[in-house]
Structures are given as structure tokens and as C-alpha cells.
Amino acid sequence: MKRDDNARKANLIETVVTQSHQASEQLATTQGSQRSQAVEAMAQSLSASFDEILEANTLDLETCREMAIPALILEWLKLTPQRLETAIKILERLGTIADPIQKVSHAPYPLDPAQTYCQRMPLGVITLIYEAFPELSAIAAGLCVKTGNSLVLRGGSEASHSNETIVNALNQALEETKLPAHTIQLLPSDQGCSIQELVQQEPYTKLVIPYGRPSLVQQTARTANVPILRTAIGNCYLYWSTSGSAEKVKDVIVDSHASEPDPVNAIEKVLINRNIKASILINLFHALQEKGFVLRGEDSLLEEYSQYLTPVQEQEWSESYIDKIVAFRWVDDISSAIAWINRHSSGHADCIISQSYRETRQFAQTIDSALVYVNASPRFFRYAANGDSIFLGMSNQKGYRRGLIGLESLTTFKQVVQGN
């Protein structure tokens, strides 16, 4: 009986992915204006379903509280009117920006006497596996439709009502604008479709994006036989040089934790130059505690500042807290800081506070991270104030893509050689 059930789930996944592949082939030939209209219609449909979506989210929250779901997931699940409104604004912005597909650029190695150029193209079927974050499905759908890709969504059971209501609204808009059926599909959470089956849908699935806790990302990467775009949350480092301002350090830490709803680039670890004065340290610890932070420290710091710090375990230097927790550690100099960060950081966003050009230059050149911040907060903005800067998340991998996950991350290039 169990074998039959597993076969049914596998057949469901295979059917959904095959349908998505057929939709992606049709999407690749649509006009950019039609895809833009569809994204704008998606925004309008979400707006029209605003109250219904929030009611579905309330039902999910009530169900999760009865099931003792972790507080972190509840926070990610909570779809406030502001969060939903931001998702709608992102779709509205996506509908107005230039078509990213069919853009032509110079080829890196032109062939004479032929005309040679590169053309940006869709990937095909993209799968998003995500925990909570119900609005993420709408943002991912907007990015995929804009880039001519189809999307398979696999959300967690904790957000089943929210996800279904949002996807129904999105599909209604796609139907009205006559985009292919099955452009956006949601795998029902009550069907128990396994992640392992979903990420082994070669050759049709072209990219899988896992979004959530590190355990979800690692599980997806271990079992996939298709390309993975790893996302990263937390465990970002800050090095505090002797020439750096304590006030700047405090502001950067506080601001980095203010991302809504997921503190993607939150500073969770701080390396302090040994020459920083005790009085300055005490002021910083006191200021952060007033802001609600829990502070931890290595043994030598703990001996001197036990009234402010609690012990940190060795493995924590390489792990994300995904909470308002910051751990502190002494380092001798910038070279020691860089070596420690490159060994323990999550590698997607690290920061230096220093007024020394030599130090900031050395840090920027040798830190092995996707983004390096010099005297600036690494706070993540999914929806920037202007321009085409709309991002699903951050990636720390060196493979397929690294850094901010936006429209270009969901496309590829083909080179065209046109002879006389």
C-alpha cells in the first residue's frame, strides 16, 4: 500500500513538471509586452483577493499555533497587510520594467567575418521549495513570468491555505491574459510530495531554488540531480577595526537585523580588534542589550564582560542563529579576521568597519563572500526604492549564480553566429 502511495506521488510530480515544461516552451515565444501585462494583471488579482488571502493566512496561523510550530516559522508565515502590499508593489514594478529576454550583447569572442552576438534566454522550468513566506510565491511567479520561465511551487504544509489562495489569484490573472496553462503550479502540501522526488526531475527542471532554514537548503542540495541555486540566511560577520566607530558598529548591527520578514544579511558574529578599549566595548554591549539583542562571547571575552555576555559554543561560529543574537570574538589583526571569516562565514554578506583605506581594500579583495560591505549596513532589501532592483533572495554559492537573486539569475545566454 505504501509503495502504491509513493508511486502516486511520484506520478503527480512527474505530471506537474511535464506540464510546466510544455508551458515553458510556449512562454519562450511570447512577446515581452504580453508577459508584462500578465505580471501587472497578477498584481491586480492579488489586490482584488487581498482580504481573502489575509483570511487564509489567519487560518494557517491558528492551525500552526495548535501544532506547536517553531516561533521562527510563525514569524515567516505571518502575512501582514504591509508584506502583502509589498508583494503587490513588486509585481507592479516588474510589469513596467524593460523585457529582460531577447536582450542582445556583444559576444566575448566574435568570429570573423560572421556577425556574432549573445542573446539572453529563459531557463525553462524553475522549482521553488520554500518554508512559510507565503508572499514569496507571488514574487517568484512575477520574476519567472517576466523572464519567460514556468514555475513549480512546493510550499510547506504550515502555509497551505495561504499558498493555495495566492496561486489561485495568480492563475486567474494568467488565464485572463492568455498565458499558457500550467505556467504556475502549486504542488498540494497534503499530497506529501517529497523534496527528493521533486529535485530529481531531469531533464525538464532547469533550476531548483530552496528558500528557508539552512537544513532545507542542505537537504535539497544533497538529493538533487538538477542545478541548485542555494540561498543563504544569517551568519554574516563584521570585523571591527581600531579605527572604526563604535556607533557605526552598533548602527550596522541593528539595521542589518531590520529586514522584513527575513533577516537575510543580519550580522550575527563580530570580530573585535584586541586594541579596542574596554569602555567602548561596554558602551556597545549596553546599547545592543537595550535594543533587545542577546549577546554571546568567547571565553576570554566572557571573563572580562560576564555581565553582558553568555558562553558561545565552538560550532556556533559556523551556524546561523536567525534571531537577535550576536556573538563576539577577539582577533589580533585584519589578517586574522579575514582568515576566520573565510573559514566560518556563510559567505554571502560580510562587513568591515574601519577608516583605514589599506584595511578596507585588503578586506574587499580577500574576503570570500558574494557581497562585501565597507562601512555600510548589509541589510537586505527585496524591493528597492527604484530601478530594476527586485530580488528573491541571496545566494552564497560560486556555481550557477552568486549574490543577489534577480531577473538575470533566472536567465541564460546563447551565442548566435550569423554568417554572410
The tens digit of pLDDT for each residue in 199-236 reads: 888 889 999 999 999 999 999 999 999 999 999 999 99
Extract the C-alpha cell encoding 195: 523534496
Q: Is 151 left (phi over 0), alpha (psi -120 to 50) or beta?
A: beta
Q: Is the pLDDT of residue 6 over 70?
A: no
In the chain, how many domains are there? Answer: 2
List all residues 6 or more positions away from 112 whose beta carbon is below 8 Å from its beta carbon.
Answer: none
Domain that holds residue 292: 236-374
- Quick one: 200 and 80 in the same domain? yes
- Quick one: 402 and 280 in the same domain? no
Encode pLDDT of 121-130 as tens digits. 999 999 999 9
Q: Is the pLDDT of residue 17 over 90?
A: yes
- Quick one: 135 and 249 in the same domain? no
- Quick one: 274 and 192 in the same domain? no
Q: How far apart are CA 142 and CA 170, in angstroms?
A: 9
Q: Which 3 state secondary structure label does DSSP give 158?
A: helix
- Cβ burial 111-143 (10 Å sphere, 16+ → b, else e): eeeeebeeebbbbbbbbbbbbbbbbbbbbbbbb
Q: Is the pLDDT of residue 3 over 60?
A: no
Percent of the chain exceeding pLDDT 70 equals 96
| String of DSSP letters for 247-267 | HHHHHHHHHHTT-SS--TT-E
- Quick one: 193 and 299 in the same domain? no
- Quick one: 317 and 370 in the same domain? yes
Q: Is the pLDDT of residue 1 over 60?
A: no
- Quick one: 290 and 351 in the same domain? yes
Domain membership flag for residue 380: no
- Quick one: 97 and 208 in the same domain? yes
DSSP 291: T
Domain membership flag for residue 130: yes
- Cβ burial 321-336 (10 Å sphere, 16+ → b, else e): bbbbbbbbbebeebeb
Average confidence score pLDDT of the chain = 92
Domain membership flag for residue 83: yes
Encode pLDDT of 273-288 as tens digits. 999 999 999 999 999 9
Specify the CATH number for the domain of residue 342: 3.40.309.10
Encode pLDDT of 146-191 as tens digits. 999 999 999 999 999 999 999 999 999 999 999 999 999 999 876 6
Domain membership flag for residue 386: no
Q: Is the pLDDT of residue 420 over 80?
A: no
Q: What is the edge-to-edge ordering of all strands in the sheet holding 115-122? A: 104-106, 115-122, 411-418
Specify the CATH number for the domain of residue 106: 3.40.605.10
pLDDT band at 107 (very low <50, low <70, confident <90, very high): confident
Domain membership flag for residue 154: yes
Q: How far apart are CA 243 and CA 358, in angstroms?
A: 12
Q: How far apart are CA 235 and CA 399, in angstroms?
A: 20
Instruction: Tell me if 210 sits within 8 A of 295, measured CB to CB.
Output: no
Lowest mean pLDDT among 45-54, 172-181, 182-191, 312-321: 182-191
Domain membership flag for residue 385: no
- Quick one: 193 and 86 in the same domain? yes
Read off φ and ψ for residue 325, nearest 5 degrees. Answer: -125, 135
- Quick one: 129 and 197 in the same domain? yes
Domain membership flag for residue 76: yes
- Quick one: 127 and 193 in the same domain? yes
pLDDT band at 12 (very low <50, low <70, confident <90, very high): confident
- Quick one: 221 and 153 in the same domain? yes
Q: How far apart are CA 134 and CA 165, in angstroms?
A: 10
pLDDT band at 2 (very low <50, low <70, confident <90, very high): low
Domain membership flag for residue 128: yes
| String of DSSP letters for 269-280 | EEEEETTS-HHH
